[in-house]
Structures are given as structure tokens and as C-alpha cells.
């Protein structure tokens, strides 16, 4: 489990870059399969410490925006990533629910079902 750490910087979906976004989705596999941002990297929160090295695949010259469903899990993940010095992480306020509300693109992994945020 991730240790308790201080809070992380936060950005709203409206303030995120429209292109070239480094996005980390920390939701559970079933949430990811239902609908996610096309450019996101998926590492569930509980797997983050063991898989943090995978974040090296993301650009290191910009912040990594961390997202979950509503912003709680991603806030914790972003704070942990910053405290551990792994990446410069920013929590996405409102999570994928705000992403969907703002009309940002969604893709799903479920055959025959439209993408949605669970």
C-alpha cells in the first residue's frame, strides 16, 4: 500500500493541454475497460509501487497528470509519486467524470459497448 504523503498539485480537466498530454490512469481494470482517455497509461493504484518504473515510458520534460474516477485515488497517487521523486505528478480534479463532462475523448475495451466512465 502507498504510504500517506502530503497533497499534490491539482489541475482541472479544462486546464489540461489538448495534445501531448502525459496521463496516468490509476483506476481498476474494469473501470479502464469501460472507458479511458486514448493517450493514457494504465497502472492501477494498488500496483503503482511495483510498476512505477513503467512511468519511464512517459515524457520526463513535462508533468504527468494522474486521473481516477473522481479525483481521490489520483490525488493520493500523485502525492506519492512526487514524494518518491518518480515523476512530477499533478492530480486531475474531478477525474474521468470531469473528463467526460468536458467532452474529452473516451475509448473503451468492451466489445459492442460504447465507452463510459464507471
Distance CA 111, CA 15 (A): 32
Candidates 22, 37, 68, 75; catalytic one: 68
What distance separates the 2 farthest-apart alpha carbons in the chain? 42
CA atoms of 29 and 75, how far apart (whole Å): 19
Residue 84 · residue 53 · CB < 8 Å? no
68 has catalytic annotation: yes
Distance CA 33, CA 61 (A): 29
Task: Give the H/E segment covering residue 66.
Answer: strand 64-67
Q: Catalytic amino acids?
A: 68
Amino acid at each position: 500500500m502507498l504510504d500517506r504523503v502530503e497533497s499534490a498539485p491539482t489541475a482541472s480537466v479544462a486546464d489540461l493541454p489538448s495534445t501531448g498530454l502525459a496521463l496516468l490512469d490509476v483506476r481498476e481494470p474494469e473501470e479502464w475497460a469501460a472507458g479511458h482517455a486514448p493517450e493514457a497509461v494504465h497502472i492501477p493504484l494498488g500496483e503503482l509501487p511495483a510498476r512505477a518504473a513503467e512511468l519511464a515510458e512517459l515524457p520526463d520534460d513535462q508533468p504527468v497528470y494522474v486521473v481516477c474516477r473522481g479525483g481521490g485515488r489520483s490525488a493520493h497517487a500523485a502525492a506519492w509519486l512526487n514524494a518518491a521523486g518518480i515523476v512530477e505528478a499533478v492530480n486531475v480534479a474531478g477525474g474521468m467524470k470531469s473528463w467526460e463532462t468536458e467532452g474529452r475523448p473516451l475509448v473503451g475495451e468492451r466489445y459492442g459497448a460504447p465507452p463510459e466512465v464507471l
